[in-house]
């Protein structure tokens, strides 16, 4: 009940914010210092934290070799460089290989067999291509298969494995919604088959629409 009440307050805060709100700076009281932080970065940090920690992300990965990544502070100015360094180091480790990412996704799908889920044989891997563009062969095959009704749920390791662009993500969601397709990011507990997942998706889409009207550097991260 407390979590739901806090969620409602956060949603009300976002709805009441005008276009200048995200660019404002506020002070955050830490244990030993006061951190000056932009509102947009704080909100992105908060949403990322909730996506990652709510639910059973760690339990879903218990049968794999894939440790959940640490993303709590990635959008925060003070901790961003530290988290970015951790992510860069992680890219060199086995758990970020395409094989290990697929293993994590397959483990999640297997955990949902009781709900009627089954793994499609085709893999949609664009290894070595940037997630900053939609012009990727495997991604286009996935979107075509969705339009043709061959896919019901898209399961990825992390959201940025699908795309690094909020605007592109919004375009993909339009294709998903047109065919009733859900979306899951297994290491971030982002699951639009649940009501909380749909709420999170709606918040992200709101940010996508907002960012389209703001200067490009407002949502820039390292």
pLDDT in tens, 161-216: 888 777 788 888 889 989 999 888 888 777 888 777 777 777 766 765 555 555 54
Taking the model in full, what pTM does it have? 0.53
The closest of 75, 2, 48 to 203, measured between CA atoms, is 48
Sequence-distant (6+) residues with CB within 8 A of 118 are 109
The closest of 120, 177, 168 to 147, measured between CA atoms, is 177
Q: 160-192 burial string, b = 16+ CB within 10 Å, else e? A: bbbbebbebbbebbeebeeeebbbbbbbbbbbb
CATH code, residues 2-219: 3.40.50.1390
pLDDT in tens, 162-175: 887 777 888 888 89
Cα 81 to chain centroid distance, Å, stands at: 19
Q: What Rg do the C-alpha atoms of the chain give, in angstroms?
A: 18
pLDDT (0 to 100) of residue 134: 86
Tokens at 60, concatenated:
């879903």
Give the residues of the chain that fall short of pLDDT 70: 1-2, 48-96, 204-205, 207-222
Sequence-distant (6+) residues with CB within 8 A of 135 are none
Which sequence spans correspond to the domains of the chain? Answer: 2-219
Classify residue 145 by burial, with Cβ atoms within 10 Å: 0-12, 13-18, 19+.
middle
pLDDT (0 to 100) of residue 186: 85
pLDDT (0 to 100) of residue 208: 56
> What is the Cα–Cα distance from 72 to 48, expressed in whole angstroms?
6
């Amino acid at each position: 009940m407390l979590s739901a009440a806090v969620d409602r307050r956060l949603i009300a805060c976002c709805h009441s914010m005008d276009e200048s709100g995200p660019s404002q700076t506020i002070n955050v009281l830490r244990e030993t210092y006061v951190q000056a932080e932009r509102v947009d970065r704080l909100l992105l940090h908060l949403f990322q934290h909730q996506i990652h920690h709510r639910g059973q992300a760690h339990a879903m990965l218990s049968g794999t070799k894939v440790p959940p990544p640490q993303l709590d502070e990635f959008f925060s100015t003070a901790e961003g460089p530290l988290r970015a360094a951790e992510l860069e180091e992680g890219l060199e480790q086995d758990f970020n290989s395409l094989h290990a990412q697929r293993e994590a996704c397959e483990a999640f799908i297997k955990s949902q067999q009781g709900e009627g889920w089954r793994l499609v044989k085709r893999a949609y891997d664009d290894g070595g291509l940037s997630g900053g563009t939609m012009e990727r062969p495997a991604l286009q095959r996935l979107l075509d298969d969705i339009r043709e009704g061959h896919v019901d749920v898209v399961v990825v390791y992390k959201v940025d494995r699908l795309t690094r662009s909020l605007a592109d993500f919004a375009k993909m969601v339009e294709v998903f919604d047109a065919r009733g397709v859900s979306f899951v990011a297994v290491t971030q507990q982002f699951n639009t088959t649940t009501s909380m997942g749909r709420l999170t998706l709606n918040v992200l889409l709101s940010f996508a629409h907002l960012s389209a009207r703001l200067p490009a550097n407002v949502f820039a991260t390292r």
